[in-house]
């Protein structure tokens, strides 16, 4: 097995024939080897699929999303994956790359790093003009991988190991997709999914014009879209778009997790198919669950944040709903795509855009402004998890007065552009001293046949997304359902609301950094991209974002030394399993461990659940990428670590003798890493 392939022992060597007869969507979704992937007549596309591990640090690193200093990672629930699809038009030779990463955000730092890696390997084949990188926005991923200080405050600075893991994982996913290119058909279909999302900012939504509100009668966007990849009549890959926040895991959770969208992809790939790679090295099936305009869409249907441990069940339930809605479309005819593959990207300095009257809605010219954090942003989204005490969504006159009179004075121009926001932090002014947030942002438009994706680097509410989609659809002549916002794309600028929603100054409006006219400015940009794409013309790249890699501050020291507990050795079993278990019970084993930050085991695993086969050999049946396993780390004294591995025995587990294996790496006082393995006593599953 090639060294760079993920280590999933039981899943890596099956042949295509072993996949027949699977469950839901199995006959169509079973993977086909390259030899079997005969092109469909007149397909016109080469498509490649790639899957890679993009998990960063899992211990003593701040988690990204809720903005909580106390949410420091202490283990791993599921690994974070990067899934890539390369689509090439055989007629024109043009190609695009779609990357969906189990990641909180795609920061400009990662965008630049992935493009550098691609340029080193492929020259100008993959550039900013045809690579769309998006995040699922899990709130249970490690942070510290931005070059802008605001996003590294809860992580005590920049974490290079996490940054490299994310960038390397995304690059490897593209490399594998490139190597997997083969004649394929693309089928586009749409469905409706309800009961998986709720509008967490209904009062702001209701301020929108009737034409917008009537498009979403339940104040949610129920559109679920599937782009499936077919070879020899079988579905071998799929990208689903559905808007809902990945906030099913609570702010009290301390385990790295891919949240609801990650579970949907994991379930389709590993629980339905139970195989990652075929014997020829190609992926059997790759499914990505991507975001669209999910800015005001919460998975918490009761509008209250989840709590631990109920968040695991809520994550799985929401992910299953997304999967079922996507998988149901596999059996529908859909529309077989044909036509051009094309894309455009420009950089826009959102702090200085003159918005023309045709986009402002009031017949007058307006301007965006330097970014400002509103008091409502500091309050957090109360439905998914509050942030700082003392702040409220809506009006915050006290903080507005304090900010304006004590901290700084808001200029008339800034006040006009940001009104009615209660400006809490003039973060654009702080950018003059040190880069806190990104102001020059990429905006992208991708076309694959009739499908159009608007790459927006932030969290777009459903009505803001609707206006962007209408703008593009009207210019390119596409059906509205075939034009989607690809949110969390290529960078991050927080939220994007309609001007009417902005006026409500709920969390989303307080987080729309560049003022009331930010959406009209981006509609103007989207119109320019759509016109260029329609007419086949080029656009100036615009003011590129600077490379800030030399300015990243790292404040948290790394691991200094590992030591086992007194009278113990690394890998010793401190608490062993029982002798017998049944399906549905939890196995728990505690080891004398080491800090998991010494080696991230990217592409590998910290743990294995093994079953004894005939002849005495051991076969891996689960690893740290599986839903049923959990890897807990805890510091024991100053230099010692306790590692607890749990396995919730799934229903249908083959009875037999099992054991838990832990893989660790210990750091000596001079910095040398020594791998070690701990193995539990055997136990029986009856």
- Known catalytic residues are 298
Question: How far is Cα 77 from Cα 309, in angstroms, rounded to an integer?
Answer: 13
Of 175, 189, 185, 541, which Cα lies nearest the Cα of 349? Answer: 541
Of 42, 38, 22, 43, which Cα lies nearest the Cα of 187? Answer: 43
Question: How far is Cα 69 from Cα 81, in angstroms, rounded to an integer?
Answer: 25
DSSP for 481-521, written as a single string = GGEEEE-SBSS--BEE--HHHHHHT-HHHHTBTT-TTHHHH
∠ at Cα 250 (493, 486), nearest 5°?
35
For 636, phi then psi, to 5°, come to -120, 95
Give the tokens for residue 88: 């090439």
For 582, phi then psi, to 5°, come to -125, 160
Rg, Å, the chain Cα set? 25
Q: Are 5 and 277 in contact (CB under 8 A)?
A: yes
| 310 C-beta neighbours (distance < 10 Å), count | 11
Question: How far is Cα 54 from Cα 532, in angstroms, rounded to an integer?
Answer: 34
Q: Around 658, how many Cα atoms within 13 Å sit in the side-chain half-sphere?
A: 29
Total number of residues shown for the chain: 686
DSSP for 80-131, written as a single string = -EEEEEEEEETTT--EEEEEEESSS---HHHHHHHHHHHHHHHTTSS-TTTE
Question: 566-601 in b/e burial notation, b at 16+ Cβ within 10 A?
Answer: eeeebbebbeebeeebeeeeebbbbbbbbbbbbbbb
Q: Are 162 and 58 in contact (CB under 8 A)?
A: no
Residues with Cβ within 8 Å of residue 93, at least 6 apart in sequence: none
């Amino acid at each position: 097995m090639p060294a760079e392939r993920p280590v999933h022992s039981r899943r890596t060597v099956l042949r295509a024939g072993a996949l027949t007869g699977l469950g839901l969507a199995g006959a169509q979704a079973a993977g086909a080897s390259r030899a079997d992937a005969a092109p469909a007549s007149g397909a016109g596309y080469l498509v490649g699929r790639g899957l890679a591990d993009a998990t960063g640090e899992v211990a003593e690193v701040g988690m990204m999303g809720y903005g909580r200093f106390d949410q420091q990672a202490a283990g791993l629930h599921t690994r974070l994956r990067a899934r890539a699809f390369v689509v090439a038009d055989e007629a024109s030779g043009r190609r695009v790359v779609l990357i969906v990463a189990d990641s909180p955000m795609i920061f400009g730092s990662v965008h630049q790093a992935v493009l550098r890696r691609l340029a080193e390997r492929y020259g100008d084949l993959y550039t900013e003009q045809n690579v769309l990188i998006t995040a699922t926005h899990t709130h249970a991923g490690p942070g510290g991988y931005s070059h802008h200080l605001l996003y590294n405050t809860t992580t005590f600075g920049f974490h290079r190991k996490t940054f490299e893991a994310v960038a390397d994982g995304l690059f490897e996913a593209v490399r594998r997709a490139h190597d997997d290119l083969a004649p394929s058909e693309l089928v586009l279909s749409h469905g409706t999914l309800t009961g998986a999302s709720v509008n967490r900012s209904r009062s702001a939504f209701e301020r929108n014009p009737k034409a917008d509100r009537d498009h979403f009668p339940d104040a949610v966007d129920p559109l679920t879209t599937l782009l499936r990849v077919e070879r020899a009549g079988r579905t071998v890959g799929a990208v689903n778009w559905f808007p809902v926040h990945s906030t099913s895991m609570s702010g009290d959770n301390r385990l790295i997790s891919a949240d609801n969208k990650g579970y949907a992809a994991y379930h389709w790939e590993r629980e339905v198919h139970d195989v990652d790679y075929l014997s020829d090295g190609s992926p059997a099936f790759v499914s990505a669950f991507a975001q669209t305009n999910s800015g005001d869409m919460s998975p918490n249907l009761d509008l209250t944040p989840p709590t631990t441990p109920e968040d695991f069940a809520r994550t799985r339930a929401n992910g299953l709903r997304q999967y079922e809605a996507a998988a149901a479309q596999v059996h529908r005819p859909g529309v077989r795509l044909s036509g051009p593959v094309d894309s455009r990207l420009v950089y826009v300095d959102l702090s200085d855009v003159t918005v023309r009257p045709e986009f402002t809605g009031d017949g007058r010219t307006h301007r965006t402004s330097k970014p400002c954090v509103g008091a409502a942003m500091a309050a957090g989204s109360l439905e998914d998890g509050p942030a700082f005490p003392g702040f409220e969504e809506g009006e915050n006159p006290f903080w507005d007065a304090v900010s304006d009179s004590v901290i700084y004075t808001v200029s008339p121009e800034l006040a006009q552009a940001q009104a009615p926001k209660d400006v809490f932090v003039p973060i654009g002014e702080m950018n003059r001293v040190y880069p806190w947030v990104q102001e020059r942002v990429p905006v992208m438009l991708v076309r694959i046949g009739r499908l159009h994706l608007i790459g927006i680097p932030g969290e777009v509410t459903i009505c803001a997304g609707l206006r962007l989609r209408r703008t593009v659809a009207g210019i390119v002549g596409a059906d509205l359902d075939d034009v989607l916002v690809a949110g969390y794309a290529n960078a991050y600028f927080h939220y994007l609301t309609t001007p009417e929603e902005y006026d409500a100054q709920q969390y989303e409006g307080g987080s729309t950094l560049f003022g009331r006219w930010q959406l009209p400015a981006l509609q103007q940009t989207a119109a320019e991209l759509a016109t260029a794409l329609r007419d086949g013309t080029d656009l100036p790249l615009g003011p590129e974002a600077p490379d800030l890699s030399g300015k990243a501050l790292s404040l948290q020291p790394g691991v200094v030394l590992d030591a086992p507990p007194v009278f113990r050795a690394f890998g010793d079993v401190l608490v062993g399993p029982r002798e017998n278990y049944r399906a549905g019970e939890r196995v728990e084993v505690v080891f004398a461990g080491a800090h998991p930050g010494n080696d991230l085991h990217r592409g590998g695993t910290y743990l294995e659940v093994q079953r004894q086969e005939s002849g005495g050999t051991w076969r891996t049946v689960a690893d740290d990428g599986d839903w049923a396993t959990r890897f807990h780390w805890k510091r024991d004294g100053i230099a010692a670590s306790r590692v607890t591995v749990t396995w919730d025995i799934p229903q249908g587990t083959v009875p037999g003798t099992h054991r838990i294996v832990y893989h660790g790496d210990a750091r000596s006082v001079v910095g040398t890493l020594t791998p070690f393995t701990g193995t539990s006593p055997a136990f029986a599953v009856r």
